[in-house]
Amino acid sequence: FPELLSNPKLVLVQGALNVVMKQNVTLSCLSESGSPPVRYTLFRHNQQVSALNSSHSTPALFTLTISSASDVGEYKCKAEYNISSGGKYSNSLNFTLIEPISKPVLSSPTSETKKGQNVTLSCLSENGSLPITYQFFKGKQNISPQKTMQKREAAVIFLFIDSLSDFGTYKCKANNSFPNNTKYSNGFNFTLAEERSHSQPLIISLGLILLLLIIGFALAIPFFIIPLYKASE
């Protein structure tokens, strides 16, 4: 009688559990105790993917190509003798598809500011696998520590506009676990708001009073000045 099979071990021997599209991965399945030949079957979400017969005490190797989102998820393998109706199942391995991030968008509630004012900058990539790490720059100078966002929400920094040197082009960059996929945002510039002097309201008020006097004088000409002129002739 064949030796009792042990639960096989499913091991990733090539690739990674975080996979990108078109990536190849290789899985090894082996029962450490058992008498060959042994039939090994690989399952994804309880659906058979492939099957191999091993006539020696060597692992069955399954090579897969991740070609769509349906190729990721939970994998298990089953070991059984051809003459038996039962079988033993392995541990599971879970593959996760990682996607490249989109170009982040840098924005602010206001683009016009003045010295002595607090402002905010927000950076967000609409697409790409989480988590996403953001960093902010002014010109080529880094102005913030890295901010890693576990949710699809913007990274935000607060700035204090202290001098004219704080005006300039701001940018942010974003990256995730997808290889070689750092993206930079659009440039964002704050503009200096015109500061109105305290005398401006007074000047405007005096101008309005003068205008009203001129209009009043023009209206008075046909009713008062012309009759007085005619009466004096």
Confidence of residue 216 (pLDDT cuts 50, 70, 90): confident
Instruction: For residue 86, give both structure tokens.
Output: 């039962």
Above 70 in pLDDT, residue 170? yes
Residue 222: inside a domain, yes or no? no
- Strand, helix or coil at 98? coil
**The domain boundary residue, chosen from 67, 97, 127:** 97
Q: How far is CA 95 from CA 16, 18, 20, in A?
A: 8, 6, 10
Per-residue pLDDT at 229: 57
Residue 148: inside a domain, yes or no? yes
Nearest to 158 by CA among 166, 150, 102: 166
**Residue 54 shares a structural domain with residue 113:** no
At 93-130, the pLDDT tens digits run: 999 999 999 999 999 999 898 888 999 999 999 999 99
**Residue 13 shares a structural domain with residue 59:** yes
Residue 187: inside a domain, yes or no? yes
**Residue 160 shares a structural domain with residue 116:** yes
At 181-205, the pLDDT tens digits run: 999 999 999 988 875 544 456 667 7
**Residue 111 shares a structural domain with residue 157:** yes
Residue 136: inside a domain, yes or no? yes
Per-residue pLDDT at 48: 96
At 5-45, the pLDDT tens digits run: 899 999 999 999 999 999 999 999 999 988 888 999 999 99
Per-residue pLDDT at 231: 60
Q: Which residues 6+ apart lie within 8 Å of 128 measured at CB?
A: 99, 100, 101, 102, 174, 176, 178, 181
Residue 199: inside a domain, yes or no? no
Please, what is the end-to-end C-alpha distance for the chain in angstroms?
Answer: 145
Per-residue pLDDT at 19: 93
Residue 205: inside a domain, yes or no? no
At 128-149, the pLDDT tens digits run: 999 999 999 999 999 999 999 9
Above 80 in pLDDT, residue 217? no
**Residue 93 shares a structural domain with residue 134:** no
Nearest to 173 by CA among 195, 207, 146: 146
Per-residue pLDDT at 66: 94
Pairwise pLDDT comparison (72 vs 229), residue with the higher score: 72
**Residue 122 shares a structural domain with residue 92:** no
Q: Using CA atoms of 65, 66, 68, 73 in order, give the dihedral in degrees to the nearest 10.
A: 130
* Residue position matching structure tokens 């209206």: 219
Confidence of residue 164 (pLDDT cuts 50, 70, 90): confident
**Residue 64 shares a structural domain with residue 18:** yes
Instruction: For residue 83, give both structure tokens.
Output: 């003459």
Q: What mean pLDDT value characterizes the chain?
A: 89
**Residue 86 shares a structural domain with residue 33:** yes
Which CATH number do you get for residue 109? 2.60.40.10
Residue 233: inside a domain, yes or no? no
**Residue 54 shares a structural domain with residue 119:** no
Per-residue pLDDT at 195: 57
**Model pTM?**
0.64
The parent domain of residue 78 ranges over 9-97
**Residue 112 shares a structural domain with residue 148:** yes
Do 52 and 80 touch, CB atoms closer than 8 A? no
Per-residue pLDDT at 208: 83
Count of domains for the chain: 2
Residue 26: inside a domain, yes or no? yes
Q: Is 104 exposed, middle or buried (0-12, 13-18, 19+ CB in 10 A)?
A: buried
Q: Which residues 6+ apart lie within 8 Å of 68 measured at CB?
A: 21
**Residue 127 shares a structural domain with residue 166:** yes
Give the pLDDT mean for 162-187.
92
Per-residue pLDDT at 200: 58
* Residue position matching structure tokens 């405007």: 204
**Residue 24 shares a structural domain with residue 74:** yes
**Cα separation of 213 and 209, whole Å?**
6
**The domain boundary residue, chosen from 48, 66, 97:** 97
Q: Which residues 6+ apart lie within 8 Å of 156 measured at CB?
A: 120, 121, 122, 123
Above 70 in pLDDT, residue 172? yes
